[in-house]
Amino acid sequence: MTPSRLWDLVDLFLANAAIFILVALYRIWFESSNPATISLSFLLVILVVATRGRLWVAVVTAVIATGALNFFFLPPVGTFTIAAPHNWMALLVFLIVAIVASNLSSSARARAREAIARRDEVTRLFDLSRDVLLTTESASALPSLARYAARRFELDTLALFLPREKGWERHEGGIRASSLVESELDRFLARAGGAIEFDAHRRTYGGHQTRDGLDGVTEQVVPLRIGTRPIGLLSAAGPSVDPGTLDALAGVAAIAVERAHFLEERKAAELERQRAELASAVLASFSHDLRTPLTAIQVAVSNLVDPEISKEEREGQAEVAQREVHRLRRLFQFILDMAQVDAGITPEREWILPEDVVDAAEALVAQGLAEHRVEVDVDSAREVEVDPRLTSGALAHVLENAAQHSAVGSVIRVRAWVDEEGLHVSVLDQGPGLDPASLPRLFDPFYRGVGSSRHATGVGLGLSITRGLLAAEGGRIWAENSPPDGACFTILVPARSRAAVLALEGRS
């Protein structure tokens, strides 16, 4: 027995109990037999039942009340016989009034339920439309829409199907997946391409179809349309949903599909614009930074071939040439690293000790660290599986950044350790520290930070490239001030680890 039928029986029982309580009160307590007063009391019970329960419960209660009025209060009392003709008329009028009143009350209650259902439908559609407008990520827009719609409309199955060059793209949102196969989807979409007609009674446009599954679940299939063109299908199953509601839901879903397409196009256009701006900025920056060392090298070489300069001057010019060559090499390394980040890097992970990563990074920027003292604290008890090239390259940029922003002769502390998260490397300098206003943009391309203009050797790409190299491995980098010292940059590369002793035994 369904819960609604059980409540109907409870209402019927309570109504009849109320009628027989009234009979007892009028017969025993009040000792009254006035049919008009008693019939009004019975009518009140019937109206209460009609406002609470279904129409058939009120009608049955009206029939029972009519019988009780006849048996207990109309002469001859105690029988269902009616002696006077006017009592027949009174009994008939009472029954008709009770049934008409029950019908009116039930109709008003049904209209109220329908108005509440329409209000809830409009509220759900409004909330769903708001979710669509608030979505800014095209990749998650349609899966999120399917989940939101299934939850708000309490549907066991809700799926969006979009035709693609190779098959169908589907987004499931209910607790039960749709059983529609591609051949059925092709057929349903072909049928939806006909003329569109509006059914005012069902509040739907043409194209609604149903499909009975092998598991006994009936799925309703509604076309997604932009204008008159079908762009996909919506499949729903579960509690009974009004066809007009499904049609409105399909309209919202079609708008969401079109908006996701526009978001993708806008993102692609924005990426293209940023790429063009970045290429222009890179060209302008490197053309300037390449011209300076080339000029210095040309002057130094010209001076070296002059036979009249002293040995000390010759050594000084050679040192200038070496320094500018190192600067050129780093600029070209910047270009190569940027090209790798832009093209997308596939990590090649190897088992390696943390100290090997630090040593490789120091070797890459040895010239830049020559005027600083580097203190290294490495825990070499465990090996990690990382890409040595990417990790050491990222660390090299951080070391070079620390050297550029700290005084000559200062100490740069490097600490590396391994835990359950992966490889950690921190670089602490003795520079002026980080300006809080610079932190949100610290890893943006060409951003030098507040008060960094004096560092003419930097192009503002090192930290941005570091973030890109680490992102290829699923890693990240962050920065913070570490009083009384300067800035502290920390690298984390998620990776598996193992004991170094076992690793050495495995190699042998």
pLDDT digit string, tens, across residues 194-241: 656 655 555 566 667 777 765 667 888 888 888 778 888 888 887 766
Residue 493 bridge partners (DSSP) = 423
Residue type, 475: G
Supply the pLDDT for residue 373. Answer: 92
> What are 190-195's contacts with CB under 8 Å, separation 24+?
192/223, 192/225, 192/230, 192/233, 193/230
**Looking at the structure, do residues 101 and 245 belong to the same domain, yes or no?**
no
* Domain presence at residue 128: no
* Domain presence at residue 242: yes
Both tokens assigned to 176: 């039960």
**Residue 192: CATH number of its domain:** 3.30.450.40
**Looking at the structure, do residues 247 and 307 belong to the same domain, yes or no?**
no
504 pLDDT band, cuts 50/70/90, is very low
Residue type, 275: R
Report the C-alpha dihedral over residues 290, 291, 293, 295, rounded to 10 degrees: 160
Higher-pLDDT residue of 447, 317:
317
* Domain presence at residue 101: yes
Domain enclosing residue 33, as ranges:
3-117
Q: What is the mean pLDDT of residues 394-410?
A: 89
Q: CB count, 10 Å around CB of 329? A: 13
Q: Which of 410, 434, 409, 408 is nearest to 487 (CA)?
A: 434
Residues 6+ away with beta carbon under 8 Å from 202: 243, 244
β-pair type (497-499, 382-386) = antiparallel
The rounded distance, in Å, linking the Cα atoms of 450 and 429 is 17
| DSSP-assigned letters across all residues of 306-344 | -TTS-HHHHHHHHHHHHHHHHHHHHHHHHHHHHHHHHH-
Alpha-carbon separation of residue 431 from 183, 428, 467, 488 (angstroms): 67, 9, 21, 10
454 pLDDT band, cuts 50/70/90, is very low
**Residue 424: CATH number of its domain:** 3.30.565.10
CB 155 within 8 A of CB 149: yes
Alpha-carbon separation of residue 488 from 52, 378, 388, 483 (angstroms): 71, 16, 22, 10
**Looking at the structure, do residues 97 and 182 belong to the same domain, yes or no?**
no
The rounded distance, in Å, linking the Cα atoms of 290 and 40 is 104
**Looking at the structure, do residues 394 and 498 belong to the same domain, yes or no?**
yes
Count how many domains the chain has.
4
CB 246 within 8 A of CB 208: yes
- Is residue 79 pLDDT above 80, yes or no? no
**Residue 289: CATH number of its domain:** 1.10.287
Q: What is the mean pLDDT of residues 243-254?
A: 80
**Looking at the structure, do residues 291 and 358 belong to the same domain, yes or no?**
no
* Domain presence at residue 132: no
Supply the pLDDT for residue 107. Answer: 76
Supply the pLDDT for residue 358. Answer: 95
**Looking at the structure, do residues 497 and 371 belong to the same domain, yes or no?**
yes
**Looking at the structure, do residues 171 and 203 belong to the same domain, yes or no?**
yes
Higher-pLDDT residue of 78, 435:
435
**Looking at the structure, do residues 277 and 151 belong to the same domain, yes or no?**
no
Burial of 306 (0-12, 13-18, 19+ CB in 10 A): exposed
**Looking at the structure, do residues 281 and 327 belong to the same domain, yes or no?**
yes
- Is residue 120 pLDDT above 90, yes or no? no
Domain finish residue from 212, 240, 267 = 267
**Looking at the structure, do residues 494 and 373 belong to the same domain, yes or no?**
yes
Supply the pLDDT for residue 216. Answer: 66
* Domain presence at residue 122: no
* Domain presence at residue 218: yes
